[in-house]
Structure formats: C-alpha cells, structure tokens
C-alpha cells in the first residue's frame, strides 16, 4: 500500500511516501518554516499558507525521487485535513486532491493526531495494540487508550493549555526562538533541575492535566529577574549566576523537570488504572530526552514497556500521515473523498466517523 502524503497543518511543509503494508518509509522530506515566522515569535497563518504553496511542488517531487517511484505507481494520495490552521490545511489537501484527481487514485483525508498516535509503529516492530498513548504536542496533551486503528478512548486531557504551548511560552519569556521546546532542552542541559520549586497543578489521582498555573508561575518568576539573567541569546551566556538569581539554564532545567514529573505521575496513574502493557509517547514534546527518560522510568516501575518514535518522527512530519492513511485504507476504515472538507478542529475521538 504505497501512499504519498502531504502534511501542512501548521508551519512544517512535508511530503512522504510510506508502504503501510510493510511499515516502510520510502521517503520523508520536510521544510521547516522557522525563518518565515521568526520575526513574529509565533505562526502567522497567511505566511504559513504562502510558504506551503511555494514549497510543495519541489517537496513532492523530492519525495518521489527519493522513493524512486513514478506517480502512477502510487496506490493513494493523502493529506492532513485537520486539526490545524484552515488555510494551511487547504494548501496541502488541495494539492493532494488535485494529484489524486489527475492520477485517478483515491484521496485519503487524514487526521493529524491519528498520525501521531500511530507513528510509533513505523519504527517499533514489536509494538502491538492496545497501548496507552501520551500525546503531547503544540496543541494537545492527552492520555488515550489506542485499542485499534480508528478506535481511540480518551482517558485524560489538559483542562487548559497544552504542554508544547507551555514550553513555547516559557521559551519566549527566556528570549528563545519559536518553537522553543528544542532550545529549552538544550539550555536545560547546563542547568540544575532542582533549583526551583515549581507548582504541580492537578497533582491528584486523575488523568487530567493543567499547565496554566505552571505557566503563570514561570511568567512571574522570570519577570521578577534582572533582564540580563534571562537573555541567553543576547548575552551569549546562560545568564548571570549570582547566588540568589537562578540562571536561565537553571530555569529551563527546573521547568523541564517539572513537566517530566507531571507526565510521569499522570502516566503512572494511567498504567495503574488500566494495567496497559505498553506506554507510547508521541507528538513534538515527546522528542524531549528528559521527558522520555522520566517516562521510561515510570514504565519500569509499573512493569510496562515504553516506546516512542525517534525525535524526528515525534515532531510534525508527513510519514506519520502516509502511514495512518494507508493503515486506515488497509483496515477499510472511512477515509473521506475528494469532497471531504478540512476540519480545523477534529478531535481524535471523532476520527472513525470522518
């Protein structure tokens, strides 16, 4: 089952060809629009959409070349049709629909979150259903029981902000470039994670998360510090390290540690409640090595197996879309038609009825 997929839900323009039958990635190319959005410290939908349209023809050609395939050899064309930025989704899905129409092949409308949820299968041959999923990205923080492709049971979610959003906000306060997750991880390597006592909102037996209190605590803390202490990029250092002033590296390390302990505790709760044999982490925040270590330790304590895709398949990519689309097709699940519209909001729990 050879699927060429396009992913344009946010600020990554990506194309990939995956053989879902054999779980093989034949090509996986990506253009990250970090430069385009740098001046705005966030993603501007109009800017993202224009960049998608400019880059797509070349990226799709590149995906075919790397896979050594002609378009006529493809079995289907897929694209992310939600959730995401409306105009950005329209660029990728219209491109893929046009190709499907021209080639006379099916178009598979694919949910971005389902792509993340199934992505660990691409690199972990031992992973079997069911598994517990910690899905942590820029817009989502959820604990889901993945029973089968298309069958997702929501067990817990954030009541306010997403974890990735919190990383990006803290990074902005520290003067780091957007998206700040990778930069915080780098900075944290030189810091002491026990420097700050940070709040743990919703520290209870539930599987729900809350990050707004942590975000506010970080904002209050950072804004109370001398300016030079929190501007690593300009100062060329990691902040002044006077006795009473934590360095920006200490702040990053303490914040990352707090998020890791929150994930570890909530996933521990979920493993205890469900007795699931496996925990999987996916989504951009799951690229973080400190978080992965904390989750692996929790799994060891609960006698469960831990699995996560390699970091480049945790962050947005089109291979996960091609795989999810192909797998749905193989399982005869609904995959939409050329008339399927984009859905900027499209919860994972609703994908089966797509």
Partner touching 180 among Zn ion, ligand KG4, none, CB below 5 to 8 Å by kind: ligand KG4
Which stretch, 37-45, 96-104, 131-139, 242-250, contacts ligand KG4 (CB under 6 A)? 131-139
Closest among 29, 18, 30, 31 to 123, alpha carbons compared:
18
The reply on whether position 251 binds ligand KG4 by CB under 6 A is: no
* Binding residues for ligand KG4 restricted to 81-120, rule: CB under 6 A: none
User: CA quadruple 49, 50, 51, 55: dihedral positive or negative?
Assistant: positive
Structure-derived torsion over alpha carbons of residues 11, 12, 13, 16, reported in degrees to the nearest 10: -150
**Of the two residues 179 and 268, which places its CB atom closer to ligand KG4 in the complex?**
179
Strands 12-19 and 24-32: antiparallel
The reply on whether position 7 binds ligand KG4 by CB under 6 A is: no
Partner touching 139 among ligand KG4, Zn ion, none, CB below 5 to 8 Å by kind: ligand KG4
Partner touching 309 among ligand KG4, Zn ion, none, CB below 5 to 8 Å by kind: none
Lay out the site mask for ligand KG4 across 293-322 (x = CB under 6 A, - = otherwise).
----------------------xx------
The reply on whether position 182 binds ligand KG4 by CB under 6 A is: yes
Among 18, 20, 133, 180, the residue binding ligand KG4 under the rule CB under 6 A is: 180
**Of the two residues 11 and 208, which places its CB atom closer to Zn ion in the complex?**
11
**Of the two residues 106 and 115, which places its CB atom closer to ligand KG4 in the complex?**
115
Residues of the shown chain interacting with Zn ion in the complex, contacts defined by CB under 5 A: 137, 316
Partner touching 28 among Zn ion, ligand KG4, none, CB below 5 to 8 Å by kind: none
CB of 202 to ligand KG4, least distance (A): 20
Show Cβ contacts of residue 339 under 8 Å, excluding neighbours closer than 6 positions.
none
Which stretch, 49-57, 162-170, 202-210, 217-225, contacts ligand KG4 (CB under 6 A)? 162-170
**Of the two residues 150 and 181, which places its CB atom closer to ligand KG4 in the complex?**
181
Burial 182-202 (b: 16+ CB within 10 A, else e): bbbbebbeebebeebebeebb
Among 92, 115, 120, 138, the residue binding ligand KG4 under the rule CB under 6 A is: 138
Closest among 128, 157, 133 to 146, alpha carbons compared:
133
Q: Which residues lie near ligand KG4 (CB under 6 A)?
A: 10, 137-139, 164, 167-168, 179-182, 185, 283-285, 287-288, 315-316
């Amino acid at each position: 089952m050879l699927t060429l997929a396009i992913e344009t839900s946010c600020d990554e323009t990506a194309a990939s060809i995956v053989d879902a039958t054999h779980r093989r990635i034949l090509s996986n190319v990506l253009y990250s629009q970090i430069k385009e959005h740098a001046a705005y410290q966030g993603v501007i939908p109009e800017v993202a959409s224009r960049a998608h349209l400019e880059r797509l023809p070349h990226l799709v050609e590149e995906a075919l070349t790397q896979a050594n395939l002609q378009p006529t050899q493809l079995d289907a064309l897929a694209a992310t049709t939600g959730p995401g930025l409306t105009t950005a989704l329209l660029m990728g899905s219209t491109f893929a629909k046009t190709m499907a129409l021209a080639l006379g092949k099916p178009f598979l409308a694919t949910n971005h979150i389902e792509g993340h949820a199934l992505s660990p299968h691409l690199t972990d041959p031992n992973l079997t259903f069911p598994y517990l999923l910690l899905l942590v990205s820029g817009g989502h923080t959820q604990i889901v029981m993945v029973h089968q492709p298309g069958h997702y049971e929501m067990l817990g979610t954030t009541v306010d902000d997403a974890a990735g959003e919190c990383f990006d906000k803290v990074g902005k306060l520290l003067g780091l470039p957007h998206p700040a997750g990778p930069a915080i991880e780098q900075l944290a390597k030189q810091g002491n994670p026990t420097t700050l006592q940070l709040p743990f909102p919703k520290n209870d037996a539930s599987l729900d998360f809350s990050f707004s209190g942590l975000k506010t605590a970080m904002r209050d803390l950072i804004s109370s510090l001398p300016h030079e202490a929190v501007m690593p990029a300009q100062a060329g250092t990691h902040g002044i390290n006077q006795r009473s002033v934590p360095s920006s590296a200490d702040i990053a390390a303490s914040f990352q540690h707090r998020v890791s302990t929150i994930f570890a505790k909530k996933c521990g709760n979920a493993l205890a409640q469900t007795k699931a044999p496996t925990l999987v982490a996916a989504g951009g925040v799951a690229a973080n090595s400190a978080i992965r270590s904390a989750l692996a330790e929790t799994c060891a304590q609960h006698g469960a197996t831990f699995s996560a895709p390699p970091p480049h398949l945790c962050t947005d990519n089109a291979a996960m879309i091609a795989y999810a689309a192909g797998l749905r097709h193989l399982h005869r699940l609904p995959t939409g038609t050329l008339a399927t519209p984009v859905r900027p909001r499209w919860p994972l729990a609703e994908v089966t009825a797509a």
